[in-house]
């Protein structure tokens, strides 16, 4: 039986703007995604039997029926029933839930890619991204990044992607144990939903890469900061901004905050910072970079 093992990376958003709310309730956004070398591992094996999906290692990722890995397999099985066959999936989970790092979306994207190969569907990038967009706003990015080996600018509902060449970079991530509800954030009365689309993102990289200059921002940061552990973590990183000449910020709609480390501290300094952080902290690097 064929086996496929895939790394399922976390992501960060260097900025995140909400441009409009559509009539169907979805939100138009603009962001730059970066994939990280911090992430989960998924192993896929064809198996015998009648159960379509046997998912192992997902005990702590919520209701199995709502799990994006299971949903990805079911969506492909529904669209291509003649090719569907049972699969065992083993998840080695590292990315915390609700952290704004896209763990579930990344797992979902890797599942689409692996099942496409296991079942011999021969779906192209655009076809996979179209399916991915029905499963979650961040899922298309992970498909795009894995297949094109690049970070991306995203607009629309996260499904319109274009590559962006960014320098290789290290990041310090702080992950408070707070699960943030994305659905609640999008209905928050103080969420700014009319930020204009910014043209020429590739020509403005220096305005959001290390430091975050106006008009670049994360639309959710001021809302999420109401949670004390997240504020404490972000305040901690802000004490390091002068040393690193970089802006600490929130990623996505979760609880994780990060600080770019392009002006690299030495290993001893970084270990000291991690040891004294108010919550779980890790150093991660960009998965792609020039």
Say which of 40, 71, 138, 170 is annotated catalytic.
138
What is d(CA 90, CA 261) in angstroms, rounded to the nearest whole number?
33
Q: How many Å apart are CA 153 and CA 165, to the nearest integer?
A: 10
- Going from the C-alpha of 201 to that of each of 142, 195, 245, the distances in angstroms are 20, 15, 21
Alpha helices in 135-187 (DSSP H): 139-148, 182-186
Provide the 10 A C-beta neighbour count for residue 192: 14
47 catalytic? Reply is: no
Please say if 138 is a catalytic residue. yes
Catalytic residue among 11, 71, 93, 283: 11
Distance CA 259, CA 175 (A): 12
Taking the C-alpha atoms of residue 109 and residue 56, their distance in angstroms, rounded to an integer, is 17
- Produce one character per residue of 213-227: b if its CB has 16 or more CB atoms within 10 Å, e if not: eeebbbbbbebbeee
Cβ burial 50-60 (10 Å sphere, 16+ → b, else e): eeebebeebee
Of 6, 55, 14, 276, the closest CA to residue 164 belongs to 14
- Residues annotated as catalytic (active site), given as ranges: 11, 138
């Amino acid at each position: 039986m064929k086996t496929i093992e895939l790394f399922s990376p976390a992501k960060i958003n260097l900025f995140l703007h909400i441009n409009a709310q559509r009539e169907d309730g979805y939100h138009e956004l603009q962001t730059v995604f970066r994939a990280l070398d911090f992430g989960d591992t998924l192993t896929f094996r064809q198996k015998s039997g009648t159960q379509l999906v046997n998912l192992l290692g997902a005990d702590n990722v919520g209701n199995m029926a709502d799990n994006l890995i299971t949903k990805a397999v079911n969506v492909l099985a529904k669209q291509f029933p003649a090719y569907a066959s049972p699969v065992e999936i083993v998840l080695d989970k590292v990315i915390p839930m609700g952290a704004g790092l896209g763990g579930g979306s990344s797992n979902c994207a890797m599942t689409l890619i692996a099942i496409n190969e296991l079942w011999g569907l021969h779906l192209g990038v655009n076809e996979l991204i179209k399916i991915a967009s029905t499963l979650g706003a961040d899922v298309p990015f992970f498909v795009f990044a894995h297949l094109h080996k690049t970070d991306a600018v995203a607009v629309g509902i996260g499904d319109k992607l274009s590559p962006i060449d960014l320098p290789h970079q290290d990041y310090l991530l702080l992950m408070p144990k707070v699960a943030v509800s994305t659905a609640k954030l999008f209905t928050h009365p103080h969420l700014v939903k009319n930020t204009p689309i910014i043209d020429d993102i590739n020509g403005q990289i220096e305005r959001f890469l290390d430091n975050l200059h106006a008009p670049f921002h994360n639309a959710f940061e001021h809302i999420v900061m109401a949670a004390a552990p997240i504020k404490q973590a972000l305040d901690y990183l802000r004490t390091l901004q002068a040393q690193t000449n970089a802006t600490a910020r929130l990623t996505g709609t979760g609880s994780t905050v990060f600080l770019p480390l392009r002006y690299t501290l030495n290993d001893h300094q970084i270990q000291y910072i991690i040891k004294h952080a108010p919550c779980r902290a890790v150093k991660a690097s960009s998965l792609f970079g020039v």
